[in-house]
Amino acid sequence: MFMGHKRILTANGARTLNTELDSASIFINMKLFSRALNLILACGCFLLISRSANAYIDAGSGSYLLQIIFAGFLGGLYFVMSAFRNLKAAVVKRVGIRKGNDSSEHAG
């Protein structure tokens, strides 16, 4: 923080070389310092939040890699299983309707 403050003052001071630091330039310096401070704090907070939003458990490089290697297979597996479930549900529904019709016919 202190080093940042120093650098800002020096950079700004270069532009006002051979001139006296009047109250206006001090105000500008303070404003720049305040903005820089806010930016640093905001970045710090973002980093902290980002870090805590990451896994607090060790996900493991090997475990990650294994999942990526099998990504295509797993995606395919899900597709096939979903299709099978949908087909099964449709058949069960159809058979159920037919059975319902049959029983209502018998009842009639």
Partner 1 sequence: MPADAQIGASFRDPSGFVYHKEGMLLRQVNASYRESLARLADSGLYQDLTAGGLLIPHTQVALDHALSAQAIAVLKPEFIPTISYPYEWCFSQLKDAAITTLQIQRRAIEHEMTLKDASAYNIQFNHGRPVLIDSLSFEPYEPGKPWKPYKQFCQHFVAPLVLMSRVDVRLSKLAGSFIDGIPLDLASKISKPATRFNPRIAVHLHLHAKMQRSQSSKAPQNQPRGAFGKNALLGLVESLQSLVESLQWKPEGTEWADYYSDTNYSSAAMSDKHRLVSSYLAAIDPKPATVWDIGANNGEFSALATSQGIHTVAWDIDPAAVEKNYRSRRDDRLMLPLMQDLTNPSPAIGWSLKERDSLIERGPADAVMALALIHHLAIGNNVPLPEIASFMSKIGRWLILEFVPKQDSQVQRLLSTREDIYSEYTQASFEAAFGEKFDFVRKEAVGDTVRTLYLLRRRFDH
The residue from 6, 7, 28, 78 that contacts partner 1 (CB under 8 A) is 78
Q: Which two tokens stand for residue 96?
A: 């159920």
Q: Is 42 in the site for partner 1 (CB under 8 A)?
A: no
Which residues, 6+ apart, have CB-to-CB distance to 1 below 8 Å?
A: 37, 40
Please identify, using beta-carbon distances, which residue of 21 and 81 lies nearer to partner 1. Answer: 81
Rounded Cα distance between 7 and 64, Å, is 43
Q: Please give the size of the binding site for partner 1, defined by CB under 8 A.
A: 29
Q: Is 74 in the site for partner 1 (CB under 8 A)?
A: yes
Q: Is 46 in the site for partner 1 (CB under 8 A)?
A: no
Q: What angle do CA 8, 13, 19 make, to 5 degrees?
A: 160
- Residue range at the interface with partner 1 (CB under 8 A); choices 3-11, 12-20, 49-57, 99-107: 49-57
